[in-house]
Amino acid sequence: MSEVELFPGYVSPLGLGTIPFEDIARFSGIELLQRIIDREYAAPPISALLNFALTEVSEGRAVFRGLPGERHLNPLGGVHGGWAATIMDSALACSVQTLLEKGEAYTTAEFKVNLIRPITPKTGEVVCEGRVVHKGRTLAVSEATLKDGQGKLLAFGTETCSIFPVANLAAR
């Protein structure tokens, strides 16, 4: 595996990849995410494609930092709303993952994003913080904000995740 720079200052020395399937049963959700931050696992491939990375986790909380750039532009020259939606989905879902027990998995069932301000390559580094609002046995709800370096709100979103046994994941 080779080192990959996700964006300036955020490097994945193990390259790109996914969490080993067998580890999902061995570690809790927060432990798995902390292992990504600690660079014990490769960065997810989506991180390199979209210039963002998971930078902090705590119970019920996940923080991503990202750098929108020229390759994320729509035809009119703004950063595509899908870029904001993807970093939001990542923070929303990973905040839920922080509360999962060993052997539990999740998937996004529904999410909504309100784009408040335009994002351009000049926006600079952004911070997306997801927080769990409610976690039950089979469903969890989270909310997130996306802010620029001055703390201005760029987007707000909510998400519902389904929670299920890891055995229900398609084998990789």
pLDDT values of the chain reduced to their tens digit, one per residue, 172 residues: 588 888 787 888 888 999 998 999 999 999 999 999 999 999 999 999 999 999 999 999 999 999 999 999 999 999 999 999 999 999 999 999 999 999 999 999 999 999 999 999 999 999 999 999 999 999 999 999 999 999 999 999 999 999 999 988 865 5
Under a CB-based contact definition with an 8 Å cutoff, are residues 64 and 92 in contact? no
Under a CB-based contact definition with an 8 Å cutoff, are residues 29 and 100 in contact? yes
CA distances (Å), origin 111, targets 9, 115, 144, 163: 30, 13, 11, 15
Under a CB-based contact definition with an 8 Å cutoff, are residues 43 and 113 in contact? no
Angle ∠(10,59,130) on CA atoms, nearest 5 = 60
Q: How far apart are CA 19 and CA 118, in angstroms?
A: 33
Global pTM exceeds 0.75: yes
Could you tell me the domains of the chain?
Answer: 4-168 (3.10.129.10)
Spatial CA neighbour of 66 closest among 77, 41, 106, 82: 82
Spatial CA neighbour of 52 closest among 18, 89, 78, 27: 89
**DSSP structural state of residue 98:** T
